[in-house]
Amino acid sequence: DQQVKQNSPSLSVQEGRISILNCDYTNSMFDYFLWYKKYPAEGPTFLISISSIKDKNEDGRFTVFLNKSAKHLSLHIVPSQPGDSAVYFCAATKGADGLTFGKGTHLIIQP
């Protein structure tokens, strides 16, 4: 059973528009959520995170929203740029446990 789900394997967005990547989780004990970005042949790189006590965290073009009642988080990228084309992983953790990842969403930014 997957505790972190990214239901969209891929997403295509026009350059300059907003990209919205979604993530759902089932474990209500998760207390910290992270987004990672991965290019081919490279390891994931940390993008942005949010604690379960917050509902929004913003860092430049990236904003993560957390809806605890719906067990849902989303990553907004505004404006989308060609370099944003990558696979995005949502991850969650509780306490000092290891990260639980979703299967990823391949974001394609169209020129």
Partner 1 sequence: KAGVTQTPRYLIKTRGQQVTLSCSPISGHRSVSWYQQTPGQGLQFLFEYFSETQRNKGNFPGRFSGRQFSNSRSEMNVSTLELGDSALYLCASSFRTGTGVDEQFFGPGTRLTVL
Among 19, 84, 85, 104, binds partner 1 (CB under 8 A): 104
Q: Which of 76, 92, 103 is nearest to 33 (CA)?
A: 92
Strand partners, 35: 48, 90
**In the numeric block, which tokens belong to residue 63?**
């904003």
Q: Examine residue 105 and tell whether it contacts partner 1 (CB under 8 A).
A: no
**Is the Cβ of residue 63 or residue 80 nearer to partner 1 in the bound state?**
63
Give the x/- contact pattern for partner 1 in 4-43, rule: CB under 8 A: ----------------------------x-x-x----xxx
Residue 60 CA to residue 42 CA, distance in Å, equals: 23
Helix (H, G, I), strand (E, B) or coil at 94: coil
Which residues are at the interface with partner 1 (CB under 8 A)?
A: 32, 34, 36, 41-46, 49, 89, 91, 93, 96-104
